[in-house]
Structure 1
Amino acid sequence: MTDLLTAAQMRALEQAAIASGRVTGLELMERAGRGVVEAIFQEWPALRATSHRAVVLCGPGNNGGDGFVVARLLREWGWDVAVFLHGTPDRLPPDARANYDRWRAIGAVAPLDTLDWPLLRRTDITIDALFGIGLQRPLAAGLWGALEMAKEAGTRLVAIDLPSGLCAWSGRMLVEGIGPDHPADLTVTFHSRKPGHLLAEGSARCGRLVVAPIGLETTADHLSRDEAAWSPIEETAVDPGALAKGAGHKFTHGHALILSGPPGHGGAARLSARGSLRIGAGLVTLGCPPDALPETAARLDAVMLRPIADADALARVLEDRRINALCLGPGLGTTAREAALVATALQAARPLVLDADALTLLSQRPDLFSALHGGCVLTPHAGEFARLFPDISERLAAPMTGGPAFSKVDATREAAARAGCVVLFKGADTVIAAPSGRCALNAAAYDRAAPWLATAGSGDVLAGFLCGLMARGFPPFDAACTAAWLHVEAARSFGPGLIAEDLPEELPKVFRALGV
């Protein structure tokens, strides 16, 4: 997995590089500007061939300094460049002021409030260098209004580091009023993606996202900071070697038990069971009420079937210690019978996925919530999360007054610490957190976008993937990260027209692509 860096962590890396004498702040700013120009030419190759017009909007910090570098480089390329500054040059940081002076030797700088529509209509590219990853206060309406005017004029909008107003930590917009409607066409960030590029509104605001290298260390290992202060956020990935199966028999690869609901409600659990089997569990058993046996048996082949009438019957089934992972919730029901099943599953102290109806029961029964243990994984979507953790959800939905804003990462970490187990908070920006604070982000965004995952039953398949991996011996956090990653990859591999039944059947193709 690779780490996402917060604004503070990025600044720490830059300062460490400068303090070591390997590079100066001016050199880093020059590299950043060159990275932006190169990204523009790669995105729109026709702009490299001949001269064009650019408007560069510079802010009062180092993001503005990057903008002055971009302006100078485009002018050297032969472009007609107009530069506008929010604020006064005497307020610029030293490196930004140095690049302001270099630009002023070849071009003018106008106040931002003099930017007008006719100029933008004649412009090919507008560079948003107003505010980057360090923004901590709402962007005034006059500032985001300039960006909105640029988009409405038909110019391409390129953001440096982040679209101005986007919180680098939460992916939410820090703006006064309703905020801008138009996203950037291209965002160029440096060294590493930031959480705000992937969370909440981030991917919708950034357009295409490019990470430009600026020669910093690839890890934070050399920084003199304690581990808790660093607390990286990982981007999910998979280890093909861990997914590969070694020699053995079916029980070598685990036995997953999925519990189903009453007649007419078994489809969700069947999806989970199919997902568990396809992801590599050696055996998968579907346990259902006796009166649901005929319906369920007609739809199963490789998945085994057991009648489980009540909690006592489940306890007897679990006397078989070869059953080493359970999944409860999809289509389960929320009556006293199902609450007793959840309690028995928790008492068994085996790896346990709790989804859907099981989450509803946890939200209604404090005694069940208090029985959660470190082998559990909760997989709520936003509505289920709000029922389980109403106070945390309320903070996440509250209007922002400054940054860094309370984020989905914060919310998931707090939820995992409270529950004492792994929480997988679903969405296009899925966040996975452990009670220790370890955290990963699985974003279906940019080149991994998979909007067709928003279909009935896809979450049931994800629960099955997760249960199957835990049956195979994956620790809960690793299983959650791997399941979420494969879930998106299966959707991307299949493409438009996806329904939930397609996800397990696409896994072999994904595995082959990984070399498993």
Structure 2
Amino acid sequence: MLTGTEVLTTAQMRAIESAAMASGQVTGLELMERAGRAVAGHIRLRWPKAGCVTVLCGPGNNGGDGYVVARLLHRAGWRVRVLGTENMPGPDAAEMKQRWAEIGGIGPLTERGLQGGPESDVYVDAIFGTGLTRPPEGEIASILARIFGRGGDGAYHCSRVVAVDCPSGLCMDSGKAPALPPGRGTFDSPARLTVAFDSPKPGHLIGLGPMLCGELIVADIGLIQWRERNLASRGRRPVRLEAIWPRFDIPDARRIEFSLTDRLGKHPFASQHKYSHGHALVLAGGPAKGGAARLSARAALRIGAGLVTLAPPQDALPEYSSPPDALMRRALDDGDALRGALDDTRINAACIGPGCGIDRAAALLAVLLPTGRGTVLDADALTALSQDPGLMAALHGRCILTPHGGEFARLFPDLAEKVEATPSQWPAYSKLDAAREAAARCGAVVLLKGPDTVIAAPDGRARIHSAFDIPWLATAGAGDVLAGIITGLLARGFQPLDAASLGTLIHAQAARLFGPGLIADDLSEMIPQVLRDLA
């Protein structure tokens, strides 16, 4: 079974914490102490020379974590200033607040209070955690503007911010950030470090989350083992999300790589016959449109499909004669010709869209989709799909749609509008929600591309791939290569969700290995190195 790093929604995380405490095997005070110890420990690892720290503590359990951080850093020799709210927190947070009060004072958590003290080496944001239900307002919004906004000169107010669980105000189910008060700039200054607990949340990986969280550390506070031992054995495991190739530090985060190695490293040796590795058909366009399809076909071949056939119209066939010679070519002028080609049942996967032309894609989809073959729909095929409800109705569970944001808006305009809407309360409707709803609606896997790629299956399973660290991947033709990689994996027998997920991982890692200056042609040539590294 393909596995990865588990991602939990905020509601799932709260349910797990409540169940663990109700079991009597752990108390809220113990979890709070462990969380605060993790944050304090990572602060000391990054800045081993004790300095001055300001800890901002909110009214809930996140504030309780902050009081623990303050106490432990004080014990380690740091000069600690604490600003907290006056309202009475819950019993666990109140106990941690009292333990700190026996050591040091607590100033008012106001903008004036923040500005009034000496400048600190580190600011700890323990105001709001993952349980926030609406965007911050009033005085707290002004404080967040001071922490996470820019001044009039464009400079950040606080250069070293450590966020407890998440930057305050960030919706952890959507990655959306609140608007700051008028005239206070934008919520765009990242934390230097975010220490989350137990599992990453969707908001750490999508939307503005990867930018605002800075370096993300996920600390084990003892719930993972409890969950595996108790909830899983009772069949109560939460709905699973997975993060593939995450940018953060978490134990066993590379587990998906070994699953990939198992699937790619052992499968080719089960049989030496090329058809056991599948036959992929890349449906290409007419004259002067061949570049995109050639990129897709080359990628399908590199990922290990046994045969790959490029299929343009007859009048464009000479344009497809360039290397690699391992590619097969076959002229397919129309739907009737495609129907005849598909009589060969060894053709088990198809890629349609890159450079195909909208009208040609529509005609070929009408023949291809009813066969039930594994099919990757990209580019022109997605546009054709958006214009024909009959084609949309013909989608099936072995189809993979690979839209970018604009294509997704044409396919599912109502869902795209909900993602773009300004939320009045958290959790906001997210890119993850939209991809899942789209997959359920059309009955196919939806791979919604971007630096935060979300891959969703019709049954609700979803995977998140964060690639904010490789901006050079945003280059012409990169999507055509991704479509080809996924098609090759489909041909090799991978299930659609796995093919889309692994294809995204390999595609991104190829770009990471090459580095800046990448063009789409380079991606396929890096695939062998990616597979060697994984093996």
Which TM-score bucket, shorter chain as reference? over 0.9
Structure 1, residues 412-439: CA drift from partner, whole Å, max 9, x if none?
A: 1110011111111111111111111111
Q: Give the letter for the 2:509 counterpart.
A: E
C-alpha deviation, 1:229, in angstroms: 8.4
Q: Distance in 2 between matches of 1:380 and 1:214?
A: 38
Secondary structure of 2:330's counterpart equals: strand
Q: Does 1:380 align with 2:384?
A: no
Q: How far did residue 362 of structure 1 move?
A: 0.4
Task: State which of 273, 278, 286 in structure 1 corresponds to 2:310.
Answer: 286
Distance 1:486 1:227, change over 3 A: farther
Distance in 2 of aligned mates of 1:243 and 1:494: 21
Aligned equivalents of 2:464, 2:214: Cα separation in 1: 19
Alignment size in residue pairs: 504
Show CA shifts across 1:38-66 (max 9, x none).
1112223xxx23x3111111101000000
Q: 2:439 aligns with which of 404, 416, 423?
A: 416
**Which of 315, 334, 341 in structure 1 is aligned with 2:358?**
334
Equivalence for 1:212: 219
CA contact (8 A) 1:123 1:155 kept: no
CA contact (8 A) 2:198 2:221 kept: yes
Task: Report the counterpart of residue 509 of structure 1 in structure 2.
Answer: 529
When residues 309 and 388 of structure 1 are mapped into structure 2, their CA distance, relative to the original with a 3 A threshold, is: same
Deviations 1:319-364 (A, max 9, x none): 11111100000011012x4311111111222111111000000000
Q: Does 2:245 align with 1:230?
A: no
Displacement, 1:146?
A: 2.1
Q: Which amino acid aligns with 1:180?
A: F
Asked if the contact 1:173/1:179 (under 8 Å) is kept, the reply is no
Secondary structure of 1:81's counterpart equals: strand
1:79 is matched with 78
Q: Does 1:194 align with 2:201?
A: yes
SS of the equivalent of 1:332 reads coil
Q: Distance in 2 between matches of 1:298 and 1:217?
A: 53
Does residue 20 of structure 2 align to residue 12 of structure 1?
no
Q: Do the aligned partners of 1:89 and 1:97 also contact (CA within 8 Å) in 2? A: no
Q: Which deviates more from structure 2 when the two are superposed, residues 51-60 or residues 455-464?
A: 51-60
Q: For 1:38-437, what aligned pairs fall within 5 Å after superposition?
A: 38-44=41-47, 48-49=48-49, 51-86=50-85, 88-90=86-88, 92-113=89-110, 114-117=112-115, 119-120=117-118, 122-150=119-147, 152-175=156-179, 177=181, 179-218=186-225, 219=227, 222-223=230-231, 230-236=238-244, 237-238=256-257, 239=259, 240-244=261-265, 245-246=268-269, 247-335=271-359, 337-437=360-460
Contact 2:454–2:465 under 8 Å retained in 1: yes
User: Deviation string for 1:455-487 (max 9, x for gaps)?
Assistant: 011110010011100101111111111111111
Distance in 2 between residues matched to 1:379 and 1:54, nearest whole Å: 46
**Residue in structure 2 matched with residue 22 of structure 1 by the alignment:** 25
Query: Within 1, Cα distance between the matches of 2:523 and 2:515?
Result: 10
SS at match of 2:358: coil
Would the aligned equivalents of 2:231 and 2:237 in 1 still touch at CA under 8 Å?
Answer: no
CA gap of 1:264–1:428, structure 2 versus 1, over 3 A, is same
Task: Spell out structure 1 runs of 4+ moving beyond 6 A.
Answer: 224-229
Contact 2:147–2:158 (CA under 8 A) maintained in structure 1 = yes
Which of residues 471, 489, 494 in structure 2 aligns to 1:474?
Answer: 494
> Contact 2:281 / 2:308 at 8 angstroms: preserved in 1?
yes
Q: Give the Cα–Cα distance (whole angstroms) in 2 for the partners of residues 224 and 472 of structure 1.
A: 32
Deviation at 1:227, TM superposition (A): 6.8
Deviation at 1:220, TM superposition (A): 5.2
Do the aligned partners of 1:13 and 1:217 also contact (CA within 8 Å) in 2? Answer: no
Residue 224 of structure 1: how far off its partner (Å): 8.4
Does the CA contact (< 8 Å) of 1:55 and 1:83 recur in 2? yes
Name the residue aligned to 1:453. Answer: 473
Please tell me the residue identity of whatever aligns with 2:222. Answer: G
User: Contact (CA 8 Å) 1:117, 1:153: kept in 2 or not?
Assistant: no
User: Post-superposition shift, 1:211?
Assistant: 1.1
The separation in 2 between residues aligned to 1:134 and 1:339, in whole angstroms, is: 46
In 2: Cα distance, 1:228 partner to 1:480 partner: 27
Structure 1 counterpart of 2:373, one-letter code: R
CA distance in 1, matches of 2:499, 2:522: 21
Task: Quote the Cα distance in structure 2 between the aligned partners of 1:421 and 1:227.
Answer: 27
Q: Which runs of 5+ in 2 are unaligned?
A: 149-155, 245-255
Stretches of structure 1 that go unaligned for 5 or more consecutive residues are none
**TM-fit CA distance, 1:450:** 1.5
After superposition, the C-alpha distances for 1:189-221 in whole angstroms (9 at most, x for unaligned) are: 111111100011000000111111111134456
In the alignment, the residues of structure 2 paired with residue 281 and residue 409 of structure 1 have an alpha-carbon distance, to the nearest angstrom, of: 30
- In 1, the alpha carbon distance for the partners of 2:75 and 2:23 equals 31
State how far apart, in whole Å, the 1-side matches of 2:320 and 2:94 are: 71
Q: For residues 475 and 521 of structure 2, what CA distance do their matches in structure 1 show?
A: 10
Deviation at 1:316, TM superposition (A): 1.0
Report if aligned partners of 1:58, 1:130 keep a CA contact under 8 Å in 2: yes
Q: Does the CA contact (< 8 Å) of 1:135 and 1:165 recur in 2?
A: yes
* Other structure's SS at 2:221 match: coil
Does structure 2 retain, via aligned residues, the 8 Å contact 1:148–1:181?
A: no
C-alpha distance after superposition, 1:74-120 (max 9, x if no partner):
1111221111113x242x01010001101111111111124243525
- Give the CA deviation at 1:17: 2.5
